[in-house]
Amino acid sequence: MELKYFKSNNVRKNITIILTIFTIILYFLGFYFREISNGAAHTDFKEHIWPLINDFSESYIDTLKNYLSYQEATFPFYHTFQSLFNPFKTNYIYFTFSNTILNLFILFIFFYYLKKKDLFNKPNLPIIILPLIFLLSPWFRSTSYWSTTENFALFFLIPSCYYLSLLIENKDSNKTNFYLTLFIALAIYSRQQFLFLALTHISILLFLNNYKKFFYTCAYYTIFSIPGLYTYYIWDVFNNISNATSASDYISINNIFLNIPKISILVLFYLIPILFLNFNTLIKHINFKNFIIKFVVLIIIESILFKEVNYTRFGGGYIIKFNQIFFNNTIYFIIVLSSLFFSIILSLRKLINFKYFILLFFIFLVIGLPKYVYQEWFDPIYLIFYYMLVPKEKLSLLKLDKGKSIYFLYFWELSILIIAIFYYHLYLKIPFFYSF
């Protein structure tokens, strides 16, 4: 028995070493080939981010006043950080490589909070593999290689989700609540769509009738919002709300309704690993007859509500593009998958803490505001949500703390990367070694 365990441990160790070396080599090869596996990182960097960072370095105040003219949709937190602290601004290759290195620290932060959450009590080598999955995400890679803003938010999103999980599990304290507020504020400054975390945070406190903590939390958020409010004052946002972002023309309350199918299929896409790994267990909790009834009713409702919706080629992720290529962009394929998502959620609702439904509601609300919804807003963020937001006991029940599950997630993300490289570089023929 001991010999068998020893051999098994050696095999796992060898696999872990091989995958680690392969992943790191693949990551830096992507930089060498100037990989663009999200389709637009190179143009975002060239047209918006690079000019901003250089102009911030020359004249910060003047550039901040004229920020909207650069057509950059995100708040200037990332650009400020880079202009102040990155010494490699003389050449864009040096600059992008420095960020390719910098983003590796996100893996260490993720690993730190995995250990802090005590998810793996016994020696479990695949835990080393788990952070490396980030390096397989097409969006993480492209953001790293082209120094766009998305990955910067992950530095703050990881601790935000860790401390939010403490609140969800009723294990928080005044100290951890302060940390939660601080990291969420920084995440929002990095990427504004993470507003859904703050709304979830405040709403949970209200549902728990914890008015004292709610008051302090609102006070913290108010204090942390002062730099943003001052920036809005400089941009004259209080007289013209459209000055809040250069992408204001793409934001509308009406989009929330139109984006429901799109967001639901993106969430469904990243639920596939959990559904696959726990298929037999989940089947036991689902009444098949009731599930079919819900599914059919939802298809009928969504067919009535969304039959006139027609998604463009911009954004939407894999399933939208798959639908455009193979199903002539029919909305009914999207409706079927969207109805499947809601049917699964409704069938399993008794097994899910109501606080996660609060989070899901605000994801649909905030992510749905822009005209275009992008898959980069979910990948590799789904890994953070899996392992930071879900309690330790639930992770064990979902088998996400097992070595085989981690290997499955690894090859799941690797397959996503292969498809992305094929789609953008071979199908759309975006060239490697792009330069300007």
- Mean pLDDT over the full length of the chain: 92
What local confidence, expressed as pLDDT, does residue 1 receive?
A: 47
Distance CA 298, CA 355 (A): 23
What local confidence, expressed as pLDDT, does residue 345 receive?
A: 95
Distance CA 67, CA 245 (A): 9
Q: pLDDT tens for residues 23-33? A: 999 999 999 99
Distance CA 264, CA 253 (A): 17
- pTM over 0.75? The answer is yes
Choice among 195-199, 326-330, 413-417 with the minimum mean pLDDT:
326-330
SS3 annotation, 63-130? HHHCHHHHCCCCCCHHHHHHHHHCCCCCCHHHHHHHHHHHCCHHHHHHHHHHHHCCCCCCCCCHHHHH
What local confidence, expressed as pLDDT, does residue 315 receive?
A: 75
Please, what is the end-to-end C-alpha distance for the chain in angstroms?
A: 60
CA atoms within 13 A on the CB side of 169: 17
In terms of DSSP H, where are the helices of 327-402? 331-347, 354-367, 381-384, 392-397
Q: pLDDT tens for residues 294-353? A: 999 999 999 999 988 888 777 778 898 888 888 888 899 999 999 999 999 999 999 899
Distance CA 141, CA 151 (A): 9
The interaxial angle of helices 154-168 and 195-207, nearest 10 deg, is 10
- 35 close to 421: Cβ distance less than 8 angstroms: yes
Tokens describing residue 95 = 């600059």
Choice among 165-174, 316-325, 360-369, 403-412 with the minimum mean pLDDT:
316-325
Distance CA 386, CA 97 (A): 29
Tell me the CA distances in angstroms from 241 to 40, 86, 232, one per residue in order: 27, 32, 9
Q: pLDDT tens for residues 370-406? A: 988 999 999 999 999 999 999 988 998 999 988 889 9
Q: pLDDT tens for residues 84-119? A: 999 998 899 999 999 999 999 999 999 999 999 887
Distance CA 140, CA 434 (A): 18
Own/partner long-range contacts of 400-403 (Cβ < 8 Å, ≥24 apart): 400/274, 400/277, 401/119, 401/120, 401/124, 403/12, 403/124, 403/125, 403/126
In this structure, the number of other CB atoms found within 10 A of the CB of residue 318 comes to: 16
Binning pLDDT at 50, 70 and 90, where does residue 125 land? Answer: low
Q: pLDDT tens for residues 39-97? A: 889 999 999 999 999 999 999 999 999 999 998 989 999 999 999 999 998 899 999 99
Tell me the CA distances in angstroms from 4 to 8, 13, 14, 43, 250, one per residue in order: 6, 14, 15, 53, 59
% of the chain residues with pLDDT over 70: 96
What local confidence, expressed as pLDDT, does residue 92 receive?
A: 94
Choice among 94-108, 198-212, 236-250, 398-412 with the minimum mean pLDDT:
236-250
What local confidence, expressed as pLDDT, does residue 249 receive?
A: 65
Buried b (16+ CB within 10 A) or exposed e, 187-220: bbbbbbbbbbbbbbbbbbbeeeebeeebebbeeb
What local confidence, expressed as pLDDT, does residue 126 receive?
A: 74
- 373 close to 263: Cβ distance less than 8 angstroms: yes
What local confidence, expressed as pLDDT, does residue 347 receive?
A: 94
DSSP of 244-277: G-TTGGGB-THHHHHTHHHHHHHHHHHHHHHHHH
Average pLDDT over residues 114-140: 85
Distance CA 423, CA 420 (A): 5
What local confidence, expressed as pLDDT, does residue 122 receive?
A: 56
% of the chain residues with pLDDT over 90: 74
Tell me the CA distances in angstroms from 184 to 164, 267, 358, 377, one per residue in order: 9, 21, 16, 16
